[in-house]
Amino acid sequence: MIKLSVLYPNVPGGRFDLDYYRRHHLALLKARLGDACKGYVVCAGVSGLERDSAAPYVATCELLFDSREAFEQAFLPHGPAFRADHPNYTDIAPVRMVSEVVG
């Protein structure tokens, strides 16, 4: 199983519209990725390890795919559409990581 993690750093003055992300961007992802996306999780940052510390990320999204090939075939052709929607919900440059689920 392959996981795409998209992490939005908590930067001073950064804007992230979680409502838009959940209502519109996720709908775009689901429509374009179809059954190739086996599941996803969206999280809003609450804090760091210490209760009163700032969260290192304002939001994260993790998408699951059966294989690297399935991810590339489903995701890469739609990258321009996904990136075009980016300014509608944030001005934060995301950190992206593809990983293999091992446990």
* pLDDT single digits (tens) 70-96: 999 999 999 999 999 999 999 999 999
Quote the pTM value.
0.93
Sign of CA dihedral 71, 75, 77, 79: negative
Number of domains in the chain: 1
**DSSP string covering 63-83, please?**
EEESSHHHHHHHHGGGHHHHH
Please report, for residues 6, 40, 41, the alpha-carbon distance to residue 32 in angstroms, rounded to integers and kept in the order given: 17, 14, 17
pLDDT > 90: percent of the chain? 100
Tell me the pLDDT band of 69, cut-offs 50, 70 and 90.
Answer: very high
User: Domain of 77: which CATH number?
Assistant: 3.30.70.100
Tell me the pLDDT band of 50, cut-offs 50, 70 and 90.
Answer: very high
Range of the domain at 80: 2-60+67-100
Integer Rg of the chain from CA: 14
